[in-house]
Structure 1
Amino acid sequence: MKDTGGATFDFRQRRALVTGAGKGIGREIAAFLAGCGAQVVAVSRSADDLAALERDHGCMPVVADLADVQGARDAVRAAGPVDLLVNNAGISVLQPFLDVTPDAFDRTVAVNVRAALIVSQEVARGLIARGAPGAIVNVSSQASTVGLPEHAAYCASKGALDQLTRVMAIELGPHGIRVNAVNPTVTMTPMGRMAWGDPTRSAPMLARIPLGRFAEPLDVAHTVAYLLSDSAGMIHGATLPVDGGFLAT
């Protein structure tokens, strides 16, 4: 089992479904949970990315476009009985507010919010039918709390995801299903390094982070694993920043 700062996570005999698992944060989460003994079902639009996860970490691949309602439902049904769910799939289409297109807005909401709703409904129904407890983590963002230029659709979708998390917690808690969100700051995925590698762009954001660095994907994976684990048994309905103190400034 993996050890993270003194806390050991043991997910043996648990099946975890991770959406958006092909790259970046989602891939790190899938790999980390697999290393903690979970049987991981990895969902992505990219068959090549999933093949690498299957080869390197033994994850079960499911190719799906979660922007499609039936595709999202079929992906969960293909996964089999799920104990742990990470709704990580997300997109960001950068447009100035005055230029935001309805298509870009609708697709952002479809992937970032509606897919989480549909996938969670399917997983929760299965848990309730089995009489089994479970845990769900929605991967949100600090952009749910603060506005960012050219991120109108993204910020709106992550704010909606936080509210969805709270409603899910209220309604699913009585069934023994815990629901939380993690809200990372800028995270140094390959795409994040490309977007924030220029010091002139990154310096103002870094200046607002007391720890003086951006997040790494493993920082997020550790937090997700904790919230999925029995160690977080009384944490429910929370939106947990992984931001180095950004929201404290």
Structure 2
Amino acid sequence: MGAHFNLALILLALATPIAFADDPSPLQDTCVAVSDSTSAVFVNGKFCKNPKLLTANDFLFEGLDKPGNTSNNLGSKVTPVFVDQLPGLNTLGISLVRIDFAPYGLNPPHTHPRGTEILVVLEGALSVGFVTSNPDNRLITKVLNKGDVFVFPIGLIHFQYNQGKTNAVALSGLSSQNPGVITIANAVFGSKPPIYDEVLAKAFQLDKKVIDYLEAQFWVSN
């Protein structure tokens, strides 16, 4: 019995990291997210619609063919198709975004804490990259052309930049219905309330006046 118990512990230890790696597997065909809790079941952060009341529109998102408005400081626009935009994604562990770039537009350094991202360039060319974790902090970067595909591992800081003089468009799939986004500059210098100046000054080895200047900027939420 001792051997069986030890084997069970080993299998549990091996399985534990996987269990927390991504969205849980669904235990039913559908769980269309609804805001009304009346006679609904709460699953994975959302209430589920009665399966007998499902319609095709629960699994439909329209308009991803329309360009996003890139007239902002970054020159880019992310159009998400997460569970909030497409309720039928609930419990399915997948989502999608369209990213539009004006010439020299940037999708700034950010992370997705709950999802790996795979990106394909539809139009134009993009310079992309991600940074590995401590202690190496190695930049893995590549220039992508139309039809090229690149993967950004879950949780790592990454970016996309249009170095060309024409617009660029990309589609990304993510391994979560709600992968989350942490834009580094927004989180560090635009938090509410602000992170203490002395903390940021010491962390970035900058004068507090520089920190005050950075915190006073308008950080675009993309």
User: Which interval holds the TM-score relative to the shorter structure?
Assistant: 0.3 to 0.5
Higher strand share goes to which structure?
2
Q: Normalising by structure 1, what TM-score?
A: 0.30
Q: Normalising by structure 2, what TM-score?
A: 0.32
Higher helix share goes to which structure?
1
